Amino acid sequence: MPPNNKPSIALRFENLNRETRNVKSFRIQSSYMTSTDAFDVTIYEPKVANIRGLELQPVTLYLDGNIQMLGRVERTTIGASGLAIQLSGRDYIADLVESHVDMTLKIKKGETLGKAIELAAGPVGIISVTGDRGVIWRNARTGANVRSGGKAPVDFVKVKQDEYKPKPGEGTYQFCNRLAARHGATIQPMDDRTVLNLTAPDYEQETIGELFRSFSKPPGASNNIVSGVATRNYSKFPTFTKGVGKVPKGGKKSTLSFTQEVDLSTLPATGLVHEGRIKPSEGPKPAAEQYKLYRMLYIKDEQAKNAEQLDKACLRAIAERSKDFLQYQATVKGHQNPATGFTWGQDTLVYVKDEVCDIDEPLWVESVTFEYDEERGATTQLICWRPGAFII
């Protein structure tokens, strides 16, 4: 997209019943793994009186007709560039992040996860928690109609809870996220600022588009990758994991255990990794094994209520240490895939064929950043991992 082909962006201030499209530059960042999405927009209004009093105003951001964020203006800067005003803020989940949970809150045993989060988040305006609308929000942002090809998602809202209490000084989002993560769920925004969505990454969906870069383009093909960098990092992963937890059972505490070896199929040089566990009583590795990598990860989880929660905690720890097997960062022109017209979005799958980085496979988009200014035009930065690399 050349600099003179400006994307269509609109800011709608709900409480003021007004909208502006006089945008000089913007940066909209959406990341699946961070608690809130963020925006930084510079607008131009000739009448200074029209741009005052926007602090704390709810605002909805649209990009090329697709809703991108329901946020709140948290900071304004006026006077740095003539009559322009810089607006910065985050999506509505920031209200949860900045508020501490009420210490009188008690989650009773048998309460559903959805109800527990509604109770905790209710004071900041959340009236509903859903678990089956993630695809709606994703399609609204991208303009696509992509459906998952996998099994039906877990209905996290109905999952039964054990008794929980907030910790002193714990943030509302921190408390809610602690409950959600126990069951493998993340907290995501929706197209209604009174609603939260409990969901997990969708690794079974159709690809939304293609990122392509070739040394010698075949007839009819066009590179859409401006720049791309692949990082393959094997510095942290464990070759063997053991987890231990204890839960009340029959008046006593019963010991839970978890063991897992690394999935060798994901490694490029499996002969360099030791299979199984090496116990101290077995002594040093034999000479034939001296060059094989061995790393044990031990996890003691005092908060796990059952074996399933311990398993999730261990799998999450493994994924955190091995997700960097491949991280791909790409910059493309514009905000849409030119072949499909869909806006790029996080929690989507894209097919990456980058001969420079030696990638030819579908990748999961964790983060998307839209940028525009009048001099450089519009660009999008995407951060991608292999499907399944991120586990809650």
Share of the chain above pLDDT 90, in %: 51
| Longest CA span, the chain | 79
Q: Is 192 in the same domain as 113?
A: yes
* H/E run at residue 135: helix 134-142
Q: Mean pLDDT across the stretch 173-189?
A: 92
Q: Is 189 in the same domain as 126?
A: yes
135-164 pLDDT per residue, tens: 888 889 999 887 776 666 678 999 998 888
- DSSP labels, 316-364: HHHHHHHGGG-EEEEEEESSB-TTT-PBP-SS-EEEEEETTTTEEEEEE
CATH number of residue 29's parent domain = 2.30.300.10
Output the CA–CA distances (angstroms, integers) from residue 386 to 284, 298, 324, 365, in the order listed.
35, 25, 9, 9
pLDDT on residue 146 = 78
Rounded distance between C-alpha atoms, residue 209 and residue 89, angstroms:
29
Beta strands 195-199; 128-130: pairing state: parallel
pLDDT on residue 135 = 81
Q: Mean pLDDT across the stretch 198-203?
A: 90
Residue 252 φ then ψ, to 5°: -125, 170
- DSSP labels, 204-231: SBPEEEEEEE-SSPPTT----EEEEEEE
363-377 pLDDT per residue, tens: 999 999 999 998 889
Domain count, the chain: 4
Q: Mean pLDDT across the stretch 53-74?
A: 95
pLDDT on residue 150 = 66
Q: Mean pLDDT across the stretch 340-362?
A: 94
Residue 231 φ then ψ, to 5°: -120, 125
pLDDT on residue 335 = 95
Higher pLDDT, 372 or 308: 372
* H/E run at residue 175: helix 172-182
Instruction: Identify the CA nearest to 91 among candidates 28, 43, 134, 19.
Output: 28
- Tell me if 390 is assigned to some domain: no
Q: Is 229 in the same domain as 330?
A: yes
Residue 244 CB-density burial (10 A; 0-12 exposed, 13-18 middle, 19+ buried): middle
Q: Are 212 and 339 in contact (CB under 8 A)?
A: no
Find the range with the poorest average confidence among 232-246, 306-320, 325-339. 306-320
In the predicted structure, residue 256 carries a pLDDT above the cut 80: no
Q: Is 161 in the same domain as 302?
A: no
Dump strand ranges (E) for the chain.
Answer: 9-13, 18-20, 23-31, 38-44, 58-63, 66-78, 84-91, 128-130, 186-188, 195-199, 207-213, 225-231, 240-249, 252-261, 296-301, 327-333, 349-354, 359-373, 377-385
- Tell me if 4 is assigned to some domain: no
In the predicted structure, residue 215 carries a pLDDT above the cut 90: no
Q: Is 14 in the same domain as 73?
A: yes
Rounded distance between C-alpha atoms, residue 320 and residue 350, angstroms:
22
- Tell me if 257 is assigned to some domain: yes
Query: Which residues constitute the domain of residue 345?
Result: 207-233+325-385
Question: In one letter, which amino acid is 374?
Answer: E
- The average confidence (pLDDT) of the chain is 87
What does the block give as tokens for 110? 């048998």
Handedness of CA 287, 282, 259, 391 (dihedral sign): negative
Beta strands 186-188; 252-261: pairing state: unpaired
Q: Is 105 in the same domain as 193?
A: yes
Q: Is 111 in the same domain as 154?
A: yes
Q: Is 30 in the same domain as 66?
A: yes
Find the range with the poorest average confidence among 47-51, 248-252, 258-262. 47-51
Q: Mean pLDDT across the stretch 280-291?
A: 77
Question: Tokens 């527990």 label which residue?
Answer: 116
- Domain end marker among 65, 90, 115: 90
Rounded distance between C-alpha atoms, residue 208 and residue 337, angstroms:
8
- Domain end marker among 63, 90, 117: 90
Q: Which residues pair with 66 in a beta bridge?
A: 63
pLDDT on residue 362 = 96
Q: Is 64 in the same domain as 115?
A: no
pLDDT on residue 250 = 60
Return the axis-axis angle of helices 113-121 and 172-182, rounded to nearest 10°: 170
Question: In one letter, which amino acid is 184?
Answer: G
Q: Is 194 in the same domain as 149?
A: yes
Residue 252 CB-density burial (10 A; 0-12 exposed, 13-18 middle, 19+ buried): exposed
